[in-house]
Amino acid sequence: MTKTTTSTKSALITGITGQDGSYLAEFLLEKGYTVHGIKRRASSFNTARIDHIYQDPHIENARFKLHYGDLSDTSNLVRIIQEAQPDEIYNLGAQSHVAVSFESPEYTADVDAVGTLRILEAIRILGLEKKTRFYQASTSELYGLVQEIPQKESTPFYPRSPYAVAKLYAYWITVNYREAYGMYACNGILFNHESPRRGETFVTRKITRGLANIQQGLESCLYMGNIDALRDWGHAKDYVRMQWLMLQQDQAEDFVIATGKQYSVREFIGWTAEELGMQLRWEGQGVEERAYWVNAPAALGRAAGQPVVQIDPRYFRPAEVETLLGDPTKAREKLGWEPVITAREMCAEMVSADLAQAKQHALLKRHGYAVNVSAE
């Protein structure tokens, strides 16, 4: 049963500068919350996704407050939580890239696993166990080498990356603090969700941005890893609604959030090309597989026989998660949640945003400005 929120509530979001953090902040502000967010100190601005909701702290009754902080810094987290006294904490901050976690496994463990513990402990140290509800951004990556299709709340975990192993710790420490200390703490086991705000190096955005750039003559080829991987892709806007719903129940419980539909990376490439009016012809197999742009305009001056998509084994992962498909029945039955936006509609929205940006960059380039379009 969903309770209605009041405008006096406050929330703290870690990872507010990320994809989900930005949508969740918008959502909570609309509901009347005071929203606190933790942003990391960086040498250049990293707030592009939340600049449109920024409020000058000098304004009386500002409801959007940013704090410098880091999930690796215990005393900082304690101080921010003490200051904010939040009714709800959404722990979305993480080193969230699976491939990068193989490069930086220790950092990933510190932030994604121990970082979660640091927040839970801060709640306890400050005596906020009864006041502050806690949401943990768990992940379908926990299922890794899948033991059951589709995956639901009771499916056994088998993580396949340092990221997933760190998130496994975070999952269980959240359950443990709920059971040990009676805290309202829960896990949303979210399957992949995307949007025009998705980080540029995740596969969907890499594809929509890469092909849009190619169509505008800014790049020549999109280099991909395992395009046979299967994912259950939803839209981030639908998923942040569910994150909030999970904290409005009488009892804390864990939920799988997914669409129940699965597509391959190759299909996503095909949708993107269709949206851009690019006809692709695929040839070859395995690492030799390539796609050619059949109706490329001559004006782009592409070299004859230049593939538009090519496989680069550099993007293969040391251990891959080949297939993920979620069963969101519990979320539908208990919370009345259903995703609204389909994967195909989401792809169209992402292409439209990336094409608009590519056109701007192409214009700048024609006028002699340097533009950086790389996405490693």
The catalytic site residues sit at 139, 141, 163
Could you say whether residue 161 binds ligand NDP (CB under 6 A)?
no
Binding to ligand GDR by CB under 6 A, coded x per residue (else -) over 225-254, reads xxx-x-x-----------------------
Among 12, 16, 98, 308, binds ligand GDR (CB under 6 A): 98
Least CB distance to ligand NDP at residue 311 (A)? 23
Please answer whether residues 226 and 265 qualify as being in contact, where contact means their C-beta atoms are separated by less than 8 angstroms: yes
Place of tokens 């391959």: 264
Could you say whether residue 192 binds ligand GDR (CB under 6 A)?
yes
Window contacting ligand GDR (CB under 6 A); options: 44-52, 218-226, 243-251, 330-338: 218-226
Full DSSP string of 64-132: EEEEE--TT-HHHHHHHHHHH--SEEEE--S---HHHHHHSHHHHIIIIIIHHHHHHHHHHHTT-TTT-
> β-strand 290-293 against 280-283: which pairing, if any?
antiparallel
Could you say whether residue 18 binds ligand NDP (CB under 6 A)?
yes
Please answer whether residues 90 and 135 qualify as being in contact, where contact means their C-beta atoms are separated by less than 8 angstroms: yes
Gap between the Cα atoms of 141 and 203, Å rounded: 15
For residue 296, the SS3 value is coil
Q: Cα–Cα–Cα angle for 237, 242, 245, nearest 5°?
A: 135
Gap between the Cα atoms of 23 and 238, Å rounded: 10
**Among residue numbers 85 through 114, which ones bind ligand NDP (CB under 6 A)?**
92-96, 111
Of 214 and 257, which CB lies nearer to ligand NDP in the complex structure? 257
Q: Which residue is nearest to ligand NDP (CB)?
A: 18
**Among residue numbers 165 through 224, which ones bind ligand NDP (CB under 6 A)?**
190, 192-193, 199
What H or E segment, with its residue span, contains residue 30? helix 19-30
Q: Cα–Cα–Cα angle for 224, 226, 230, nearest 5°?
A: 120
Window contacting ligand GDR (CB under 6 A); options: 59-67, 146-154, 219-227, 284-292: 219-227
Among 137, 224, 269, 347, binds ligand NDP (CB under 6 A): 137
Could you say whether residue 323 binds ligand GDR (CB under 6 A)?
no
Residue 93 interacts with, from ligand GDR, ligand NDP, none (CB under 5-8 Å by kind): ligand NDP
Full DSSP string of 153-196: TTSPP---SHHHHHHHHHHHHHHHHHHHH---EEEEEEPPEE-T
Of 21 and 162, which CB lies nearer to ligand NDP in the complex structure? 21
**Chain residues that interact with ligand NDP, rule: CB under 6 A:** 14-15, 17-21, 38, 40, 42, 46, 70-72, 92-96, 111, 137, 139, 190, 192-193, 199
**Chain residues that interact with ligand GDR, rule: CB under 6 A:** 96, 98-99, 139-141, 191-192, 201-203, 206, 224-227, 229, 231, 265, 315, 317, 320-321
